Amino acid sequence: MANEEETVQPRRAGGNASLYRANIVKDDEFYTPYQDIEKELNHYAKQFKNKVIYCNCDDHYGIGLGTPKSQFIKYLADNFEAFGLKKVIATHYEPDKDHSTMYILDKDNTGDGIICWEDIEEIKLKGNGDFRSPECIELLKQADIVITNPPFSLFREYVAQLYKYKKRFLILGNDNCRTYKEIFPLIKNNQFWCGYNHVKEFYKPDGSSKKFGNVSWYTNLPNSRQNELINTGKQYAGYEDMYPKYDNYDAIEVSEVKNIPMDYDGVMGVPISFLDKHNPEQFEIIGATESEGKGFSNGLWNEQSRVAQPLINKERKFKRLFIKKKGD
């Protein structure tokens, strides 16, 4: 996984280029804790039966032989038979090597009667394991579901590839991705939605940890979260002062999801955290603030204001999604 900030690796000539790239990857590399993977994936157990799972950003081994580096692979291996999996494939990127390694789990290689961690086969790849390489794309084509923690710096490109090859997925991403111009249309069209949980802490290769405040699971697998109704108990009638209209958008401001008025039928601006609870049968996502992309507001923006961020009494607010309650 890459750092939460979108980064671009500059080109550098000379003998230190590969070392520079390796340092960037090392600095951006974080591992997802086993318990967080378990907490999320358990919700989809029935959907994994007889499926080929591909983890295309995951390394089998750590510093010492047999040390699990990717807890994704360990968790799927631990639950291979319980989930009724058909196959697990894993690849990882080696930035400073010509060849990487593929790991496959699909049969009892040890002869002990169960399929588990010890049965993983290692196969040398022809290339360095970049998920964009022809070799890894061929593996992607075999997969039913992709499960991994992709590099955040390549998140747009990574998701585009999943949709190009029409893959189901369960991945981690920075919450800011919700308003990326490449991602938001997928969310708006109910093709990309939130999972059940957030991940607050990750481990680095040296054993230390790093905390993040804005990392969530994203998927296009059906989940029950999409069927849960929001009922805040809040009302607009009689409390209009709590919901001022924007200076530059034809909508009212709702600063917290817990304050969404249940009796308001017009357009509301809500924080991007709304997506954690979004039920597409209850609310329609109309658009987002123009600061996130030209035309994103779907005509709600007053262009004469010349300010793309939402304004309340000339005070700028953080980016917003625009939603409207669906008819009963």
* pLDDT reading at 129 higher than 50: yes
Q: Check residue 227 and give its pLDDT.
A: 86
Q: Check residue 310 and give its pLDDT.
A: 96
Q: Model confidence over 213-260: pLDDT tens digits?
A: 889 999 999 999 888 999 999 999 999 999 999 999 999 999 999 999
* pLDDT reading at 33 higher than 70: yes
**Phi and psi of 117, rounded to 5°?**
-50, -45
**Whether residue 44 is found in the same domain as residue 186:** yes
**Whether residue 184 is found in the same domain as residue 244:** no
Indicate the number of domains in the chain.
2
Q: Model confidence over 79-103: pLDDT tens digits?
A: 999 999 999 999 999 888 889 999 9
Report the alpha-carbon angle 256-258-260, nearest 5.
80
**Whether residue 166 is found in the same domain as residue 304:** no
Instruction: Supply the range of the domain harboring residue 102.
Output: 17-223
**Whether residue 275 is found in the same domain as residue 203:** no
CATH number of 40's domain:
3.40.50.150
| Averaged pLDDT for residues 113-121 | 93
Whether 11 maps to a domain, the answer reads: no
* pLDDT reading at 67 higher than 70: no
**Whether residue 97 is found in the same domain as residue 199:** yes
Distance CA 177, CA 184 (A): 8
| Residue 315: burial class (beta carbons within 10 Å; 0-12, 13-18, 19+) | exposed
* pLDDT reading at 150 higher than 90: yes
Chain mean pLDDT for the chain? 88
Weakest-pLDDT range from 108-112, 181-185, 211-215: 211-215
| Averaged pLDDT for residues 198-215 | 86
60 pLDDT tier (thresholds 50, 70, 90):
low
**Whether residue 149 is found in the same domain as residue 256:** no
Q: Check residue 61 and give its pLDDT.
A: 59
**Whether residue 53 is found in the same domain as residue 185:** yes
* pLDDT reading at 119 higher than 90: yes
**Whether residue 175 is found in the same domain as residue 80:** yes
Whether 294 maps to a domain, the answer reads: yes
Q: Check residue 46 and give its pLDDT.
A: 96
Q: Check residue 213 and give its pLDDT.
A: 83
Whether 1 maps to a domain, the answer reads: no
**Whether residue 201 is found in the same domain as residue 253:** no
